[in-house]
Structure 1
């Protein structure tokens, strides 16, 4: 009976340690989490990843933000459908981490925004 009690005690300690470490990981991840919600019709910048460019045309110095684009549909809290130009060859559904709110020219501009669209091929 002591063996079963000992294993049960070890199991409970491991379970408690996992709960504590999971809480620490969640706290650390939540510090970097940004809760951004868009509505249909909002204007955004879309950050294109390497996969959105045709083969042999990706250049790390090339403009990666395109926009302003309209939000067409909210799929869920993390995914939005945007209106992409016809020359961009990638899915029109973007994760919220690849969308940046568009600020009009009346307000101060974000220095990281790029006003040029990628060149049509």
Structure 2
């Protein structure tokens, strides 16, 4: 996904990126904040990898960094529902060789049975941690997901984050309101994003917001 902030700043860049993507047979998608159809998948992947590494750090206290390559191997060779295959296979068109075979082709390197056993055990642990991380991420997302829908014409309040409130909305102070509005909903984007009719003093603010920021 490509941030829509680029599109707002330079049509030349957008034109170039669109032509470049077209030459590769791809379609450029410009993301908006909280838009799950574009950058949401990337954010979830990063969260999964962080959770996976955190779990492995607890499992391999003291020397977990020695096995980062095995964690990478486990993730890149795990079946992904979105692409219906492993990331490595999608990228290179073939399955990845096991970590015990990472030496250059033609080199005869003999690994002892103990090394093979330890390596396979570590890969198994990494894959199990990956599965646990994905389960936790799904559980967390389901727990915080709200089945709230609005219709064009509805009036809603917009949540303002303390960290970004002053920069985006000119609201400053810990005791300042956490919700502003109400604002009218103009239209809906996808399943969870809405465009709001903001007042003139907020025209510099991107007016599409995730449902989690509305009430």
TM-score relative to the length of structure 2: 0.38
Q: Which residue of 2 aligns with 1:71?
A: 185
Q: Which residue of 2 aligns with 1:114?
A: none
Instruction: Return 5+ residue gaps in structure 2 as ranges.
Output: 1-111
Higher normalized strand content (fraction of residues): 1
- Partner Cα separation in structure 2 for residue 13 and residue 63 of structure 1: 47
In the alignment, structure 1 residue 93 sits paired with structure 2 residue 208: yes
How far does the alpha carbon of each residue in 1:57-82 deviate from its partner, in whole angstroms, 9 at most, with x for none?
Answer: 62333344333322112123332110
How far does the alpha carbon of each residue in 1:49-105 deviate from its partner, in whole angstroms, 9 at most, with x for none?
Answer: 413333xx62333344333322112123332110111123522122222110xxxxx
- Partner Cα separation in structure 2 for residue 29 and residue 92 of structure 1: 24
Q: Which residue of 2 aligns with 1:104?
A: none
Higher normalized helix content (fraction of residues): 2
- Structure 1 residues 16, 76: closer, same or farther in 2, change over 3 A? same
In the alignment, structure 1 residue 13 sits paired with structure 2 residue 119: no
CA RMSD, 1 decimal: 2.6
Aligned residues: 98
Where does 1:96-107 land on structure 2 (aligned, <5 Å)? 96-100=211-215
Which of 193, 196, 213 is residue 82 of structure 1 equivalent to?
Answer: 196
| Larger displacement relative to structure 2 (44-53 or 76-85) | 44-53
Which of 134, 138, 141 is residue 22 of structure 1 equivalent to?
Answer: 134
- Partner Cα separation in structure 1 for residue 210 and residue 137 of structure 2: 22
- Partner Cα separation in structure 2 for residue 46 and residue 10 of structure 1: 47
